[in-house]
Amino acid sequence: MAMFDKLLANLKASRKTIVFTEGTDPRILSAAERLMKENLMGVILCGNADEVKAAAAAGGFDVSAATVIDPLTYPEIDAMIAEMVALRKGKMTEDEVRAALKKSNYFGTMLVKMGKADALLGGATYSTADTVRPALQIIKTKKGANLVSSSFILFREKDGVEEKIAMGDCAINLGYSDRLDKDGNVVLSAAQQLGEVAVETARTAAFFGIDPKVAVLSFSTYGSGKGGTVQLSHDAVIEARKIDPELVIDGEFQFDAAVSAEVAKTKCPDSKVAGQANTFIFPLIEAGNIGYKIAQRLGGYAAYGPILQGLNAPINDLSRGCNADEVYAMAIITAGMA
């Protein structure tokens, strides 16, 4: 698909290595075999070598070209422990770090941190929290980022035309509330957080070839409703414009005003976004998760994500209900963003 053209070009221009935290999972093994057969990237599988070999044989997968690393027998574990202790700056003891690194989610993340891999894909059996937590503690947020968020890129071909849209945040942030210092002063408002999510989602959209027209959604258009998330969505637009004055963003919008030119003419005729939005920002995870799955199941879109935003290196999370094709696609996305 065209949306993968840039990613594949990146991978051909500069070979990357991806680490999979669940090296014995048949979906991972199937995708890894395909990725290596197509010579798209190097592959590291976390797990016991005998168990990985047995799982591959059971599924008929050839992963002989992969590097298998067992966290329990890794020869450089002492250096890894020392580096992680330093990174945690007193928040974890050496014994706690040693215990954490026996788990492939922490171990794989440290492989990225130490330059042994360029990207990580996990979550086939780990929860989202168990993928994101090591990334936050070890990889950390990039300069200027105050939080990690996520987006989905949705793609479909309709009447011979390729259509792409972006949606965020549908997987990471449950909601937004003001962050306070020890004296009760606001250091990062809820609106600033949602505004940052909007900017990061727009950047992800642009990376995938979408010219972002960003609609911050609610159940109100330009103050037609009160309460709930209306003020948050309204204020997030203001905050996003502060972060990126060039960003084409507007709201708060009801979804129909965001996508229907006819509705937009009535509700917000002067908006540069209403009626033509292609990047949608949800004020709550419930709305975002429901929204992208409606688009996927009823709208016929293929959904790629969650793509994590705000980190110093590409770390992405799989759904535990994923299939091998989805692992393959997310691996291309993750390594291609490195």
In this prediction, residue 315 carries a pLDDT of 94
In this prediction, residue 176 carries a pLDDT of 94
| Cα(13)–Cα(28) distance, integer angstroms | 24
| Same-domain check for residues 154 and 219 | yes
- The tokens describing 66, both together, are 């992969």
| Same-domain check for residues 214 and 77 | no
Would you say 169 and 288 are in contact if contact means Cβ atoms under 8 Å apart?
yes
What is the arrangement of strands in the sheet containing 149-158, beginning at the earlier edge strand? 249-253, 214-217, 279-281, 161-168, 149-158, 302-309
| Same-domain check for residues 158 and 249 | yes
Q: Single out the residue of 90, 53, 145, 15 nearest to residue 135, CA to CA.
A: 145
| Cα(88)–Cα(84) distance, integer angstroms | 6
Residue at token pair 């093994």? 29
In this prediction, residue 60 carries a pLDDT of 96
In this prediction, residue 1 carries a pLDDT of 60
Would you say 42 and 118 are in contact if contact means Cβ atoms under 8 Å apart?
no
| Same-domain check for residues 153 and 298 | yes
* Structural domain containing residue 38: 2-140+312-336
In this prediction, residue 161 carries a pLDDT of 85
In this predicted model, what pLDDT tens digit does every residue of 25-37 receive, in sequence order?
999 999 999 999 9
Whole-angstrom Cα Rg for the chain: 21
| Same-domain check for residues 64 and 173 | no
| Same-domain check for residues 231 and 93 | no
Q: Single out the residue of 155, 128, 295, 299 nearest to residue 217, CA to CA.
A: 295
In this prediction, residue 202 carries a pLDDT of 97
| Same-domain check for residues 135 and 200 | no
| Same-domain check for residues 205 and 276 | yes
**The domain that contains 157 carries what CATH number?**
3.40.50.10750
| Same-domain check for residues 205 and 332 | no
Q: Which residues pair with 68 in a beta bridge?
A: 45
Q: Which residues of the chain have pLDDT under 70?
A: 1-2
Quote the number of domains for the chain: 2
- The tokens describing 182, both together, are 């020890």
| Same-domain check for residues 261 and 135 | no
| Same-domain check for residues 167 and 296 | yes
Pairing of strands 249-253, 186-188: unpaired
| Same-domain check for residues 18 and 76 | yes
For 36-54, give one letter per residue: b (16+ CB within 10 A) or e.
Answer: beeebbbbbbbbbeeebee
Query: Whole-prediction pTM value?
Result: 0.88
Task: Give the side-chain half-sphere CA count within 13 A for 291.
Answer: 26
**The domain that contains 19 carries what CATH number?**
3.40.50.10950
